[in-house]
Amino acid sequence: MDSEKNPTPPAGSASDGEKATDASPAPVSPATQQNVDELLDAARGEVKPRPASASARTPVTPSAKEASANTRAEAAPTGDAPGKETPATTPAAARAAPDTGASKTTSTPTPSINKGVSEGVAAKVPATTAKPAAATAKSAVAKPPAGAVVTAPVADGDEAIFKMRRRIIWASVAGFLAASFLMFLRFFLPRSITEPSNVVRLGFPGDYNFGVDTKWQQQYRIWVVKNSERLFVISAICTHLGCTPDWKESENKFKCPCHGSGYDSEGINFEGPAPRPMDRAFVELDAEGQIVTDKGRLFQWPKGGKNGFNDDGSFIRIA
């Protein structure tokens, strides 16, 4: 097949050429040499553009020649013939060795080759393009100043959650401090127990019959006693140890359930351990004529002492 496509005359074939070399080497024209090179390249699997002519080639500067030579030295396989030139316009893919295996070899780039490649690449890259890239890389990886706290960007939803958490925490702290301050102020205020007033209104004297009235015993712990001359109020507290005696109407006396002390209808002790008569509360009539008593003001008749049941305020005279 190659012989059919090869435009070289039969006199230029390999076998004939060897015979001719032995005898006398025939001169080879440049066109024939070029065809032979193309056939060899095709046999190696390399496809190279055919140069128009030696005179039509583009003039190459010395620097480009050096870069091209270094590039060929890096990419060309070691099986290539020494001194073979590859056009500078040949693509890198076309210059790469084919993966056919027969003449494939690997070469290790030397420092001089690497230098040539770097210089060639640097010569091809415009300076105006390299500088902005370097500046962009510097700005992209600019390091923060020492000691600065680098925080990751936070989404809007997370920021709203963080704000709400901060508000809740500060509200809790403020509430705790306010409660503590109020408790501190309360420490300086006196504690008082509110009790019902000792001054009470008991109605009109005409509302009571002669004898002992027990309707205020449970509410005010007092009895209202009315006779033909006086109306007075007895404090329902046993003078022995403070129990509340019971009124025994059938027996016409007060009987203490604790230790058996007995008092007559006017609260004068006559039996049991009670040391003295039951006390009487202050009583008077107000402007409306109602009975007003003050349980905080008591009249006593101590044993062997002065009888205070005749003092002013200890009774209301009944006309």
Binding site for ligand FES (CB under 6 A): 238, 240-241, 243, 256, 258-261, 272-274
CB of 274 to ligand FES, least distance (A): 6
Strand partners, 245: none
Please state, in angstroms and rounded to a whole number, the distance separating the CA atoms of residues 236 and 267: 9
CB of 202 to ligand FES, least distance (A): 25
Q: How many CA atoms lie within 13 A of 211 on its CB side?
A: 11
CB of 231 to ligand FES, least distance (A): 25
Neighbours of 137 (CB within 10 A): 10
Tell me whether residue 226 or residue 240 sits nearer to ligand FES (CB atom): 240
The tokens 């680098």 sit on which residue?
A: 150
Tell me whether residue 256 or residue 291 sits nearer to ligand FES (CB atom): 256
Neighbours of 25 (CB within 10 A): 9
Please state, in angstroms and rounded to a whole number, the distance separating the CA atoms of residues 281 and 295: 5
Spatial contact of 302 and 314, defined as CB atoms under 8 Å apart: no
CB of 173 to ligand FES, least distance (A): 58
Please state, in angstroms and rounded to a whole number, the distance separating the CA atoms of residues 274 and 253: 14
Tell me whether residue 261 or residue 293 sits nearer to ligand FES (CB atom): 261
Please state, in angstroms and rounded to a whole number, the distance separating the CA atoms of residues 275 and 259: 12
CA 40, 44, 47, 49 torsion-angle sign: negative
Please state, in angstroms and rounded to a whole number, the distance separating the CA atoms of residues 298 and 91: 129
Tell me whether residue 113 or residue 274 sits nearer to ligand FES (CB atom): 274
**What's the helix, strand, coil split of the chain in %, to 5?**
35, 15, 50
CB of 230 to ligand FES, least distance (A): 25
CB of 236 to ligand FES, least distance (A): 11
Tell me whether residue 75 or residue 238 sits nearer to ligand FES (CB atom): 238
Please state, in angstroms and rounded to a whole number, the distance separating the CA atoms of residues 271 and 249: 17
Tell me whether residue 238 or residue 281 sits nearer to ligand FES (CB atom): 238
> What is the widest separation between alpha-carbon atoms in the chain?
184
Tell me whether residue 212 or residue 256 sits nearer to ligand FES (CB atom): 256
CB of 271 to ligand FES, least distance (A): 9
Extract the tokens encoding 38: 């193309």
CB of 251 to ligand FES, least distance (A): 16
Please state, in angstroms and rounded to a whole number, the distance separating the CA atoms of residues 95 and 72: 8
Extract the tokens encoding 55: 């005179």
Tell me whether residue 238 or residue 283 sits nearer to ligand FES (CB atom): 238
